[in-house]
A and B are shown apart, each in its own frame.
Chain A
Amino acid sequence: MEILVCVKRVPDTAENEIEVNSDGTDIERDDLVYSVNEWDNYAVEEAIQIRDNVGGSVTVVAVGDEESEEVVRREMAMGADSGVLVSDDAFEGADGQGIATLLKAVVEKGQYDLILTGAQADEGGAQVGGMLAALLGRPYASLVNKIEVVDDKQLKVGREIEGGNQEMSEIELPCVLSIQTGINEPRYVGIRGIRKVASVEIPVMGSGELGVDAATVGAAGAKVKRLDYFVPDLGEGAEMLEGSADEIIEKLIEILKAKGGLK
Chain B
Amino acid sequence: MAEQVFAYITHKNGVADDSALELIAAAKAVFPEAAVTAIVTGSGAALETLCEQVAASYAEVWKIDNQAFAYPNAEVVRPALKGILPDAAVVFLAHDTFGMDLGPGLAIQLGAVFVPDAVGFEGFEGTALKVVRQEYGGAVSTHVQCDLAKGAVINVRPGVYQPDESKAAGGQVVDKSGALGDLTAGRRYLETVAAEVGDVDITKEDVLVSIGRGIEDEDNIEIADDLAKAMGAVVSCSRPIVDAKWLEKSRQVGTSGQTVKPKVYLACGISGSFQHMGGLKGNPFIIAINKNPKAPIFQLADVGIEADILDFLPELTEKIEEL
Contacts and interface: CB of A to CB of B under 8 A. Distances in A.
Interface of A: 11, 13-14, 17-20, 27, 96-97, 100, 119, 122-131, 133-135, 138-143, 156, 158-172, 175, 180-182, 185, 223-232, 234, 237-241, 245, 248-250, 252-253, 255-256, 259-263
Contact of B298 (A97, A182, A229, A237): A237
A263 B232 contact: yes
B114 interface: yes
Contacts of B70: none
A123 B231 contact: no
A38 to B, nearest CB: 9
Contacts of A164: 195-196, 249-250, 252, 256-258
A232 B120 CA distance: 11
B239 A181 contact: yes
A156 B190 contact: yes
A18 to B, nearest CB: 4
Contact of B190 (A160, A170, A226, A238): A170
B135 A263 contact: no
B281 interface: no
B266 interface: yes
Interface in B39-92: 73-75, 78
Contact of B320 (A168, A231, A238, A262): A262
A122 B286 CA distance: 26
Contacts of A171: 186-188
Nearest to B141: A232
Contacts of B245: 185
A227 B144 contact: yes
Given A142-B100, A162-B255, A164-B257, A231 B135 contact: no
A11 B147 CA distance: 28
A127 B146 contact: no
A153 B278 CA distance: 38
Interface string B308-323: 0001100110011001
16 contacts: A11-B136, A96-B116, A127-B114, A130-B103, A130-B104, A143-B101, A175-B187, A224-B115, A224-B146, A227-B143, A238-B286, A238-B303, A241-B305, A245-B312, A253-B319, A255-B287
Given A164-B252, A238-B288, A263-B207, A13 B302 contact: no
Given A224-B113, A245-B312, A252 B305 contact: yes
9 closest cross-chain pairs (CB), A and B: A263-B232, A130-B104, A139-B186, A238-B304, A164-B195, A134-B105, A134-B108, A261-B264, A125-B116
A67 B299 CA distance: 34
Interface in B195-243: 195-196, 206-207, 213, 231-233, 239-240, 242-243
